[in-house]
Structure 1
Amino acid sequence: MKEPVRVLVVDDSALMRRIITQMLDKDPGIQVVGFARNGLEVLDKIPRLRPDVVTLDVEMPGKNGLETLQEIMERFPLPVVMVSALTVQGAYETVRALELGAVDFVTKPTGRGDFVRLAPELVLKVKTAADVRVKKEIDKKPVGPTVFRSRRQARKVELVVIGASTGGPAALAKIIPRLPADFPAGIVIVQHIPPGFTRPLAERLNERSQIEVREAEEGDLIRPGRALVAPAGRHTVFRLSPDGVRVRLVDDFPLETRFKPSVDVTMLAAAEIFGGGCLGVVLTGMGNDGVRGLQAIEAREGITIAEDESTCVVFGMPRAAIEAGVVDRVVPLNRITAEILSLTEK
């Protein structure tokens, strides 16, 4: 029988500590081994309690959640699920936490209905986090790409579609800022994330990048040197216009999917308009979103890339795409930017 996941709950609020503990303790596969009220306390308790997962409040007095997370990752690399307030400031800090290495996050409840939502979400994310292999950056050795099909892009790349889920913000932070200002294609990023968090994600990437990065809006023009982040809660597709290809934001799409935005939906729409001029990239994440999209890109002679297992936080979406036979190249995270650049230099 599998041992229960050992969890250390960190929050400066006694009420939130109690709520989170009660939610987790109801699942027989989870054991709350202790709690901490601040950053210094959790850093003291981790080596003694040896948790499998830490739930960490983003906003704490003294050593805040981000400072504490950074020290956890440096001293005791282990999976962390952030607990965030659903505020503008909370969203920005959560995006920064994901970039620093937090596996995932949940938003704090603000009403009675939120408690019903939070319990199963928190349990699932804690259990998923327990299976994640967290390593210091220095432990990740460079690995070369694996080429399944050595074929050339059918035509000049006009659009790169990048899809990601768990671990995506940290991966994107290692890809997008390395692109040059004169990058010759448009980019659309589809990240599984709740509403309210895509704009902070886009703005954080924009701060660090040479290209323009922002949350996609209705009518945005796809153009070289611009990356658009698909807004949460809607699907991002495309339409032809006299001056090029523009973004359409829609609520429904003739494809069954539980994600909104969906990597499959955006890639299918991109393949329809850009054909062989579309490059598809699937990064770390749970599930199989992106398989049908990569298949559509491949069918129109575009090139497809999946992140290598060695650098994935969760090797779910890339594994599904590789096993479906719709991936041309498997590339570790530290080589993906270079691979994208080599395929767009035409």
Structure 2
Amino acid sequence: MPYKVLIVDDSSFFQHRLKEIISESPELEVVGIAANGQEAIEKAQKLLPDVISMDYEMPYLDGVSAVRAIMAERPVPIVMFSSLTYEGAKITLQALEAGAVDFIPKNFAEVSSSSSALKRKLHETLITFASKANLQPVRSTDELAAEAGLRSQRAKQKTSELRERMAEKSAARAASAPPSAPVKTIFPRQNLKGKVKLVVIGTSTGGPVALSDIVTNLPVDFPAPILIVQHMPENFTRAFAERLDRLCALKIKEAETGDRLIAGQVLIAPGGKQMILDRGGQRIKIIDGDDRVNYKPCVDITFASLANSFNGKVLAIILTGMGADGCDGTRLLKSKGASVWSQDEQTSVVYGMPQAVANAKLSDDVLPLPQFSVRLQSDL
């Protein structure tokens, strides 16, 4: 039986074209179309779709508000269609924090021409999330922002107290965790204290929320620089960096050529580009990269550029994401003595990237999402 899809878009043109494109997959069936956010809420309750594609800008009730309402009533995977503008990026990030699982750039030319790339991406994304369909209600964006802001303020003022609270919280969570979700140690736990000079994180689908969970819990005096490679288009990474910077004790910015690696600073690879280290190994270099590379930015490329400069002084982290980007780069880092953590299946939105690393036996530890910030503080 095909997965049921609800299309939400105020444009009759996009409604028609998306229905045509989605219906080309035998695994998907469009069961309804809504023209605004309020109608989306009503049809989601009535039609019980397995997955929803949703525009972000609509009359009566916008996409972010609709996502929040649907996730509070009956959680269902929601994939946003987003414009590639800076403003569109900011709204899409709000939708992801409200509970949407992923986004697809809303490109008029691609939809009009029914491009094969769009078809493949749309079918793969909708089928992937429709098959999961085990989401839980989420808190509102305002609640998340308020909590993150409070954490940031406390981290700046009382770093030592924050560490103590997080350790206690970790112990309580570990004590109450069900037997089905233990931390799986693949290799003996390493002593990383004073040895890690750089933390690098690679992620894709589900990454924005996962990264927010980690970095908003880190103190202002975190002892190492952090590089992040998040699969995102141009404009999105700048909006994402600015949003995280407002919520965190750490300094966070979109990486630029010439940026130095500074402890307590987070640099995010710019969308549409590649982030590598220069030959000196202490400054960032942003390049266009090869058009044959599927991902811009690409985790493998950034990881590979670190291998010779830092050898075993790197902690590489692979979080939730579709595909296997990062596996080859992780293998190279591991061969130089780097330490590797990956996210577990239970807390991953898509267990693709971390699964590839774990299956290749490259992970030193496989951790649930809430454990990363705790371990980063206790182990480094």
Residues 239, 230 of structure 1: CA spacing in aligned structure 2 closer, same or farther, 3 A cutoff? same
Residues 165, 76 of structure 1: CA spacing in aligned structure 2 closer, same or farther, 3 A cutoff? same
Which of 146, 163, 172 matches 2:202? 163
Residues 328, 133 of structure 1: CA spacing in aligned structure 2 closer, same or farther, 3 A cutoff? farther
Tell me what 2:31 maps to: 33
Tell me what 2:150 maps to: none
Q: Partner of 2:333: helix, strand, or coil? A: helix
1:146-169 superposed Cα distances (whole Å, 9 cap, x missing partner) = 211123339621111111011111
Q: Partner of 2:187: helix, strand, or coil? A: coil
Q: Partner of 2:260: helix, strand, or coil? A: coil
Q: Return the alpha-carbon distance in structure 2 between the equivalents of residues 333 and 34 of structure 1.
A: 35
Q: Which amino acid aligns with 1:118?
A: L
**Is 2:270 the counterpart of 1:234?**
no
- Superposition pairs of residues 332-343 of structure 1, within 5 angstroms: 332-343=368-379
Tell me what 1:191 maps to: 230
Q: How many residues are matched?
A: 337
Question: Does the 8 A contact of 1:153 with 1:276 survive in 2?
Answer: no
Tell me what 1:269 maps to: 305
* % same residue: 38
Report the Cα offset of residue 114 of structure 1.
6.2
Q: Return the alpha-carbon distance in structure 2 between the equivalents of residues 112 and 39 of structure 1.
A: 24
Moved more, 122-131 or 56-65: 122-131
Give the alignment's Cα RMSD to 1 decimal: 2.1
Residues 210, 134 of structure 1: CA spacing in aligned structure 2 closer, same or farther, 3 A cutoff? farther
Tell me what 1:146 maps to: 184
Which of 52, 57, 60 matches 1:59? 57
Q: Partner of 2:294: helix, strand, or coil? A: coil
- Superposition pairs of residues 73-88 of structure 1, within 5 angstroms: 73-88=71-86
1:165-211 superposed Cα distances (whole Å, 9 cap, x missing partner) = 11111111111111111111001111112222111111111111110
**Is 2:334 the counterpart of 1:298?**
yes
Q: Which amino acid aligns with 2:353?
A: M
Question: Does the 8 A contact of 2:72 with 2:137 survive in 1?
Answer: no
Q: Return the alpha-carbon distance in structure 2 between the equivalents of residues 274 and 114 of structure 1.
A: 47
Tell me what 2:42 maps to: 44
Q: Which amino acid aligns with 2:124?
A: L
Moved more, 278-287 or 82-91: 82-91
Q: Which amino acid aligns with 1:77?
A: P
Give the TM-score taking structure 1 as reference length: 0.91
Which of 289, 302, 322 matches 2:358? 322
Q: Partner of 2:267: helix, strand, or coil? A: strand
Report the Cα offset of residue 71 of structure 1.
1.5
**Is 2:284 the counterpart of 1:247?**
yes
Report the Cα offset of residue 293 of structure 1.
2.0
Question: Does the 8 A contact of 1:154 with 1:301 survive in 2?
Answer: no
1:303-344 superposed Cα distances (whole Å, 9 cap, x missing partner) = 110001110011111111111010000100011111122221
Residues 112, 123 of structure 1: CA spacing in aligned structure 2 closer, same or farther, 3 A cutoff? closer
Question: Does the 8 A contact of 1:100 with 1:170 survive in 2?
Answer: no
Tell me what 2:346 maps to: 310
Q: Which amino acid aligns with 1:329?
A: D
Q: Return the alpha-carbon distance in structure 2 between the equivalents of residues 180 and 114 of structure 1.
A: 48
Question: Does the 8 A contact of 2:84 with 2:234 survive in 1?
Answer: no
Q: Return the alpha-carbon distance in structure 2 between the equivalents of residues 14 and 226 of structure 1.
A: 46
Give the TM-score taking structure 2 as reference length: 0.83
